[in-house]
């Protein structure tokens, strides 16, 4: 039994790869591979288009056909990878009629019918760890396909959806990710040097918050579940032994209220063992600001880069996003992290349907304010209604989507009608991104501001990286940006191309509950060992 797992690239490639040379290990795929390898007689392989430098769909199809797997799993976590995924599926099916093609990930979960119509045999809904094992068992004749929970498939022309699967309550029971299936040297963090390789480690799943634009909760559930310190340490030792220098903790929120003490124990253990790993985490501003001593210990234990989802500089916009934050928390969080020598990357969003032009300018100015308080980088994204979110359903019902072309859903392209012209939103996003860095660099040279010695070497490396990448940024300014404005203007004039029937189906599938509700509790904490 041979299973191959594929991560397709987006048409525009990874924004983090383009900007920072950041390409982390495809943890979802190597975790699935680790799961299926627990079944006797199973082989697994992973293809990562970007890391494996497979620039065309045909090259991916050739690799799959050459290995001739019984099961081909393609992650469609990014909505923008929709078209590439379907092209791969169609190409494989033309040559390998008996290979069972499985789609999974966030996007596939909420547009399963499109995946099945496009060439896939099965769609895995949400968390796929146990589902993929059951699918393998069904292919081996050990169980019936209709008894596999949490999937969508076709019988003739009929689309069938099986019973929802309960969320995994104890993540410690998962097998170790199959890190041996990927080449460490291809997972880079070039902004900090050519020999900096990035592994991914998951310590928790789910999110107890309810931001209106976020696809995390519908995909992973609103119950936060964590691994034990002992299990996390096992994975950290593994990546350390494999030679990785960086770890990206992929948790959407690395610290939530119930696990503050557990995180402190984790940092203590990392320090006691002297792991000497540098790591990246995604944080909430309020929890960061309220726990300065914990952040200090995290920095001692190797926290070097923190991503803060600040989202907006407008209090009114933050309330409408249901973010549960205010701007003062963001300021305190940035200062706390920077004072501890942590590089701070701030995430901001422009173009929400309820946002006005003045709100967007407040956000750009707030980015400057955070820069003065220690923020080192910024990412201005475009508010994008992704399948599975309530804003996507609302946009369908109100006929506000500008396009049905999923490749445009890259968080960098306006795809819905808002109070502000989409081309103007793009212009502000572009200006915000570039003006932040230019202003930051000029002020650092003129004011000679103090920089914490812990992050100074990394910032110096980043400065050299950006200077070497200057031709790329000039191309962005003088070619990519004007071209984008033209495309967006044409897209807006063309109107929406989603029929009423398709819109109704998409809204219905986005509203489906993915998991069986096995607990009303918002958190599940494993027993510590």
Question: How sure is the predictor about 502, in pLDDT bands with cuts at 50, 70 and 90?
Answer: confident
Structural domain count of the chain: 2
| 3-state class (DSSP) for residue 239 | helix
Give domain status of residue 492, yes or no: yes
Tell how many helices (H) and how many strands (E) occur in the chain: 21, 18
End-to-end Cα spacing for the chain? 36
User: Among residues 65, 50, 56, which one has the least CA distance to residue 16?
Assistant: 50
CATH of the domain at 481: 3.80.30.20
Regarding whether 467 and 451 lie in a shared domain, the answer is yes
Regarding whether 252 and 110 lie in a shared domain, the answer is no
The answer to whether residues 60 and 47 touch, using CB atoms and an 8 Å cutoff, is yes
Strands 198-201 and 246-249 come out as parallel
User: Among residues 325, 347, 348, 344, which one has the least CA distance to residue 334?
Assistant: 344
CA atoms of 440 and 463, how far apart (whole Å): 11
The answer on pLDDT for 15 being more than 80 is: no
| Final residue of a structural domain among 112, 144, 165 | 165
Assigned token pair, 29: 């795929």
Query: What contacts 503, CB < 8 A, 6 or more positions away?
Result: 396, 397, 399
Regarding whether 131 and 266 lie in a shared domain, the answer is no
User: Among residues 65, 112, 106, which one has the least CA distance to residue 88?
Assistant: 65
Q: What angle do CA 340, 188, 247 make, to 5 degrees?
A: 45
User: Each residue of 167-225: pLDDT tens digit?
Assistant: 998 999 999 999 999 999 999 999 999 899 999 999 999 888 888 888 888 888 778 89
The residue length of the chain stands at: 529
The answer to whether residues 383 and 350 touch, using CB atoms and an 8 Å cutoff, is yes
Which domain does 447 fall in, by range? 171-510
Residue with tokens 């392209």: 413
CA atoms of 330 and 296, how far apart (whole Å): 17
Regarding whether 397 and 309 lie in a shared domain, the answer is yes
Q: Identify the pLDDT of residue 12.
A: 61
Helices (H), 42-194: 57-67, 82-95, 106-110, 112-117, 129-139
SS (H, E, C) 419-451: CCCHHHHHHHHHHHHHHHHHHHHHHHHHHCCCC
User: Each residue of 260-304: pLDDT tens digit?
Assistant: 999 999 999 999 999 999 999 999 999 999 999 999 999 999 999
CA atoms of 80 and 12, how far apart (whole Å): 9
Regarding whether 197 and 159 lie in a shared domain, the answer is no
What is the value of pTM for the model shown?
0.93
CATH of the domain at 53: 3.40.50.280
Assigned token pair, 500: 């009423």
Give domain status of residue 528, yes or no: no
């Amino acid at each position: 039994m041979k299973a191959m797992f594929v991560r397709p690239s987006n048409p525009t490639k990874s924004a983090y790869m383009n900007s920072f040379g950041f390409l982390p290990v495809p943890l979802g795929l190597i975790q699935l591979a680790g799961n299926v390898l627990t079944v006797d007689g199973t082989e697994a392989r992973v293809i990562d288009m970007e890391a494996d430098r497979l620039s065309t769909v045909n090259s991916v199809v050739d690799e799959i056909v050459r290995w001739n797997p019984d099961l081909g799993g393609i992650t469609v976590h990014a909505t923008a990878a929709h078209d590439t995924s379907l092209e791969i599926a169609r190409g494989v099916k033309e040559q390998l009629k008996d290979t069972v093609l499985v789609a999974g990930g966030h996007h596939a979960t909420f547009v399963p019918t499109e995946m099945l119509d496009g060439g896939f045999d099965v769609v895995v809904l949400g968390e796929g760890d146990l589902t993929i094992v059951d699918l393998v068992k069904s292919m081996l004749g050990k169980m019936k396909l209709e008894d596999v929970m949490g999937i969508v498939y076709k019988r003739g022309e009929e689309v069938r959806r099986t019973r929802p699967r309960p969320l995994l309550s104890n993540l410690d029971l998962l097998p170790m990710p199959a890190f041996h299936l990927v080449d460490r040297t291809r997972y880079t963090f070039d902004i900090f040097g050519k020999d900096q390789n990035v592994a991914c480690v998951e310590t928790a799943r789910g999110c107890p918050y309810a931001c209106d634009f976020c696809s995390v909760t519908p995909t992973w559930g609103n119950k936060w579940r964590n691994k034990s310190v002992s299990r996390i340490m096992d994975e950290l030792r593994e990546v350390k032994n494999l030679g990785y220098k960086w770890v990206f903790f992929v948790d959407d929120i690395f610290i939530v209220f119930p696990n503050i003490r557990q995180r402190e124990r984790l940092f203590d253990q990392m320090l006691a063992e002297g792991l000497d790993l540098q790591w990246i985490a995604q944080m909430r501003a309020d929890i960061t600001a309220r726990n300065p001593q914990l952040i200090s210990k995290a920095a001692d234990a190797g926290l070097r880069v923190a991503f803060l989802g600040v989202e907006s500089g407008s209090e009114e916009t933050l309330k409408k996003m249901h973010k549960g934050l205010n701007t003062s928390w963001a300021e305190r969080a940035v200062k706390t992290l920077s004072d501890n020598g942590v590089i701070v990357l701030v995430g901001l969003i422009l173009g929400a349907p309820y946002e006005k032009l003045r709100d967007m300018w407040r956000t750009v100015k707030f980015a400057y304010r955070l820069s003065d308080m220690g923020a080192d980088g910024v990412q201005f994204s475009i508010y994008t209604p992704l399948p599975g979110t309530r804003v996507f359903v609302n946009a369908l019902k109100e006929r506000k989507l500008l396009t049905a072309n999923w490749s445009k859903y890259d968080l960098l392209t306006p795809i819905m009608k808002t109070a502000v012209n989409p081309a103007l939103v793009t212009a502000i996003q572009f200006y915000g991104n570039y003006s932040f860095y230019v202003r930051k660099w000029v002020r650092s040279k003129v004011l000679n501001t103090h920089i914490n010695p812990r992050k100074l070497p990394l910032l110096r490396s980043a400065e050299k990286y950006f200077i070497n990448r200057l031709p790329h940024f000039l191309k962005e300014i003088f070619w990519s940006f004007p071209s984008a404005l033209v495309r967006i203007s044409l897209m807006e004039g063309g109107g929406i191309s989603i029929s009423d029937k398709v819109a109704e189906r998409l809204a219905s599938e986005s509203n489906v509950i993915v998991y069986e509700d096995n607990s009303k509790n918002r958190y599940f904490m494993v027993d510590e060992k």
